[in-house]
Amino acid sequence: MQMEHQTSDRRDQVLAYHCPTCGAALAFDPVTGKLKCGHCDSVFTTEEIDSAYQAQEAERQAVQTGEEWKTYSCTDCGAELMADQNTAVIQCPYCGNNTIATAQFAGSIRPNSVIPFGVTKDQAMEKYKEYYKKGWKKILLPGSFQTGSHIEEIQGVYIPFWLYQGTAKIDGDYETSNQHQEGDYEITEHYHAERSGHMNFENVPADASKRMADDLMDSIEPYDFASLKPFSMSYLPGFLAERFDVKEKETQKRAQKRIEETIIQKTRETLKYDSIDREKEKVEVNFGRTKYALLPAWILTTKWNDQSFTFAMNAQSGKFTGNLPISKGKFMVFLLLMFLVPFLIGMSAASTTVGIVAGLIVAILGGLMAHSSMKPVAEAGNANRYMDAKVNLSVKKDQFVRREKKHNPQKKD
C-alpha cells in the first residue's frame, strides 16, 4: 500500500489515499460506494482502506482533538475549505473564485458522522440542466443565462452540520368554539381546553457554515439520517470539505424555532373544534447530545448580469434547488396573456367590469405562482421530519363553558 504521510515543523499532518495496485490517487465513487482508482479502475471498500491505514489513523487521532486537515483560504470571500493534498487549484463553491492551494495546515474537530456522496458530478450536471428546462423556468428564464452558466464548475462539497436531539414539552391553554345552524339560529358553543405533552426529536439539522445560505441548505432537505456512517477520512478524497465556523449554540436557535413550531402545530391538531379563539402556549425544549456531521452537496455558483446565483443539490437524494433570474420582458408578456384570456371571456359573458376583475385576479395569482416557482429557496418552517408523528399527551381536558344563540335566518332556495 503506497501512501504519503508528511509532517511539518508544527507536526501538522496530511494523509493521501493511493491505489495499492498502481499508486495513483484514489477518489470516493458515489455509484459503487467504494474508493476507485482513476488510473487502473481498481476499487476498494472503505473498510479495506481504513484497515490499511490503521496505524496512520491512530497517529492522527493522538493529535489533540482529532485529524489535521489541510485547509485553503479563498482569496475572494475568505471561505475556509479543506481538500486532499493533491488539490492544486480550487474553485470556491460559494463565490466562484479560483484559489491557488497553499501549504497551510489547520486543525479541526473530528466530525462524529458522515453521509457519503451518492450522486456523481455527471448526474449533478444533468440534473442542473433539467432544473431550468421545466415548467415556468423554461418559459421565464433569460436565454443568455443558460449560455452563461459554467455548469462544468459544479463542486462536490461536504457541508458541516450540527444535528440536534432531545425532547420538547408543551403546556397549552385554549378558548375554542364550535358553530352549527339550528333553524333560523346560529349556535356557538364555547369550550375551555387544556393540553400538556411532549415530543422527542432526533437529528434536527442546521448547517454550521457562515458562507452557506441557511435557506439554501434548508431547501435541499431532507437527508436520510439512517445512512449516517461513523466519520472516516476515506470518504473525502475527490471532494472538498469545510469545517464548521458557526458554533453549536448559535445554530441551536434555528433548530429550536423549528421544533417549537412542530409541537405547537401537532398540539393544536388535537383540538377538534371549528376555531381556536385564544391560545396560551408554553414550550420548553431540552437538548441532549449534539452530533457534528458532514453532509454531501453539489454546489454551483454562477454569475449573470453582475449577480451571483448559487444552486445546491442534496448529493444523497438528488434533490436540486436554487433561485433563478426572471426575464422582465417574458414576465410582462406572461402577465398580459394571463389577463387577456379571462378578460375576454368575462367581457363577452357579462360586462367589461367583470372581465377586468377576472383578468386581474388570474394575472395576479398566476404571477405569484410563476414567481414562486422561480424563487423556491426558503427557510424550513418546522421539524416534522425529525420528530415523533404526534404529541404524546399527558393532559387532555375539554370543558364546556357556554352556549350562544343568534338569530341568523338562512336564505332558502
Higher pLDDT: 35 or 218? It is: 218
Question: What pLDDT does residue 15 have?
Answer: 53
Helix or strand or coil: residue 232?
coil
Residue 131 in this model has a pLDDT that exceeds 50 = yes
DSSP state of 211: S
Residue 14 in this model has a pLDDT that exceeds 80 = no
Question: What pLDDT does residue 347 have?
Answer: 86
In sequence order, the 6+-apart residues with CB closer than 8 A to the CB of 381 are: 258, 261
Using alpha carbons, select from 107, 28, 17, 26 the residue that is nearest to residue 71: 107
* DSSP class per residue in 260-281: HHHHHHHHHTT--SSEEEEEEE
Higher pLDDT: 253 or 154? It is: 253
Per-residue pLDDT tens over the stretch 237-260: 778 877 788 999 999 999 999 999
Higher pLDDT: 122 or 13? It is: 122
Question: What pLDDT does residue 403 have?
Answer: 94
Would you report the helix, strand and coil content of the chain in percent, each value rounded to 5? 30, 35, 35
Per-residue pLDDT tens over the stretch 155-207: 898 899 999 999 999 999 999 999 999 888 999 999 999 999 999 999 999 99
Which of 49-63, 192-206, 371-385 tops mean pLDDT? 192-206
Query: What is the Cα Rg of the chain in Å?
Result: 28
Share of the chain above pLDDT 70, in %: 79
Distances (CA, A) of 38 to 43, 47, 84, 87, 154: 10, 19, 15, 15, 19
Higher pLDDT: 67 or 44? It is: 44
Residue 21 in this model has a pLDDT that exceeds 60 = yes
Q: Indicate the pLDDT class of residue 91, thresholds 50, 70 and 90.
A: low
Task: Please give the span between the terminal C-alpha atoms of the chain, in angstroms, as a whole number.
Answer: 89
Span of 25-34, 222-231, 286-295 with lowest mean pLDDT: 25-34
Q: How far apart are CA 386 and CA 201, in angstroms?
A: 6
Cis peptide before 376 (omega within 30 of 0): no
Is residue 311 within 8 Å of 300, Cβ to Cβ? yes
Mean pLDDT of all residues belonging to the chain? 82
